[in-house]
Amino acid sequence: MSFPQLPLSSPPVTPVIREDIDFPTLPGAVVRRPAETPSQSSEVQTVTETLSPPSHQLIVVSCYTRFDNLAHGPRGKEAKRSLYTYRLDQHDGEMVLLSVTKDENVMNPAFSRAHPRRNVLYTCTESVAEPGDIVSWAVCPRSGQLTMLGSKSAGGTSTCYLTLDKECKNMLVVNYWNATIGVFGVDNATGMVGPCRSIYDPNEGRPMKARADKHVNHSNNDASAQKERQADPSRAQVSIADGVLVVPFLAARLDFEGGSLQERSRNQ
């Protein structure tokens, strides 16, 4: 997940890098340890300058912190922290770790979505044992620091996908395990995700058997997001076109206007 350089009204925050954090090892990554950190005043200036070139972007890496509550078995080991922010130089590929999220309550951020016009990041947590959360973060483009703005229950388990409508007034949320789709309002002033406006449940609350039926696991809001979706045509996909939510495997059409989901006639 990358972020452009957007202007800030607040001063930059000095990144804090701790020795006791389990840093992920990525090819070409450079970890700025405390011993290598200059004085506080020069550090602020260094971060501001190094992030100013157009070739630099922020990359947010999300990690699974718990395996026991997942519907699948990830490789590797559980991470100690959920979100790491790097600065990427697109010219030489160097990645420098700037910030690590310390909030231990945010587990398994399976999917992230950046607001297209604000320094706001959205993540959803994944678990089959409890409903997922949609977490809104303020992103400092200079230091990479993520500050939690708020959290809302996703209204379903194994939350796996988030997308915004074109006006960024509503967020569509997909819960994989119980195959539900939710619509949440987005605050125009802060970019925070607000209360749930509508939930579509094709199973009418009946419990799902693992992989017994097709699941709503992705949504298609625009062509630019196509690479994020699975190429397997057997997987269920949801499309939003002209304000209409289309569920192919249900042969149904859902209105997605004003934040509500309403099924139309299957012949429409």
| Predicted confidence (pLDDT) per residue in 66-91, tens digit | 999 998 888 889 999 999 999 999 88
pLDDT of residue 208: 54
Q: Give the pLDDT of residue 46.
A: 32
**Strands in 36-90 per DSSP E:** 56-62, 83-89
- Within 103-241, residue ranges assigned H as helices are none
What count of other Cβ atoms lies within 10 Å of the Cβ of residue 163?
Answer: 21
Low-confidence ranges of the chain (pLDDT < 50): 5-29, 33-52, 211-217, 228-253, 266
The predicted structure's pLDDT at residue 54: 65
pTM: 0.65
Q: Which two tokens stand for residue 21?
A: 């954090």
H-assigned helices in the chain: 40-50
Tell me how far apart the alpha carbons of residues 132 and 138 are, in angstroms, rounded to a whole number.
Answer: 20
Say if residues 195 and 152 touch (Cβ distance below 8 Å): yes
Instruction: Report the alpha-carbon distance of residue 7 to residue 49 in Å, rounded.
Output: 14
Tokens describing residue 72: 């699948």
Contact indicator for 95, 29 with CB cutoff of 8 Å: yes
- Token output for 104: 């231990």
Q: What is the model's pLDDT at position 257? A: 53
Cα–Cα distance, 252 to 193 (Å, whole number)? 27
